[in-house]
Amino acid sequence: MVCRPLVAKPYKKSFIEHKAMPLITLLAKGKTWDEETFNSELSAWGVKFYDAEAEVLRPMVEGDGVIQLMQKNMPPERVQALLTKLNEDRHA
């Protein structure tokens, strides 16, 4: 048997770097940013989601589990903006 080092698959790495981590940043910093900064960062996050990705990320926005601590005190309109991005920016 050949042992291979554990290396993240390219898709998994891309998902984490381009979709999950920016979402976490928006959640963590978005509650203290002014409207202009939040909207600018959300607009600059130019990604599209597959259905499965949106389903994985949605609980982060909705405040499920440990992420709830970061999401706490997030203005409701910003939570809705993030959910709208997950729902509407989809691959065709």
Task: Break the chain into its structural domains and give their ranges.
Answer: 13-88
Per-position DSSP letters for 19-88, written without gaps between them: IIHHHHHHHHHHTTS-HHHHHHHHHH----B-HHHHHHHHHHHHT-TTHHHHHTT--HHHHHHHHHHHHH
What are the angstrom distances between the C-alpha of 33 and each of 28, 53, 85? 10, 26, 18
So what's the pLDDT on residue 90? 87
Q: What is the pLDDT along the chain (92 residues), one digit of tens a residue?
A: 555 555 557 778 899 999 999 998 998 898 899 999 999 999 999 999 999 999 999 988 887 665 666 667 788 899 899 999 999 998 86
So what's the pLDDT on residue 50? 93
